[in-house]
Amino acid sequence: MAEEENVVYVGSKPVMNYVLACITQFNEGANEVRIKARGRAISRAVDVAEIVRNRFMPEVEVKDIKIGTEELETEEGDTVNVSTIEIVLEKPV
């Protein structure tokens, strides 16, 4: 997945890495941070959003949550469906 502005891609690293990434983006002036994940990392993406809001930035709100499905190609050439989530956090101005 390509780098995008104000997007934090959640994978299999410790949850606090992504929490810190979100906080950094807000502190650098972003009004909105999009947390994206797919497959099993979806649960961790929800953890990230909740920890940012409950523990560090209570003023931040969940603006939108979208779910979807992506087709991935396996090494064997099969396609598998993977669920995705995008959580948009917003800092009111």
Which chain residues interact with a copy of itself by CB under 8 A? 39-43, 46-47, 49-50, 54, 62, 65-69, 81, 83-85, 87
Helix (H, G, I), strand (E, B) or coil at 46: helix
CA distances from 26 to 57, 68, 69, 75 (A): 9, 26, 28, 38
Q: Which is nearer to a copy of itself, 21 or 48 (CB)?
A: 48
Q: Which is nearer to a copy of itself, 3 or 62 (CB)?
A: 62
Find the helix or strand (DSSP H, E) in which 71 lies. strand 61-73
Q: Which is nearer to a copy of itself, 3 or 88 (CB)?
A: 88
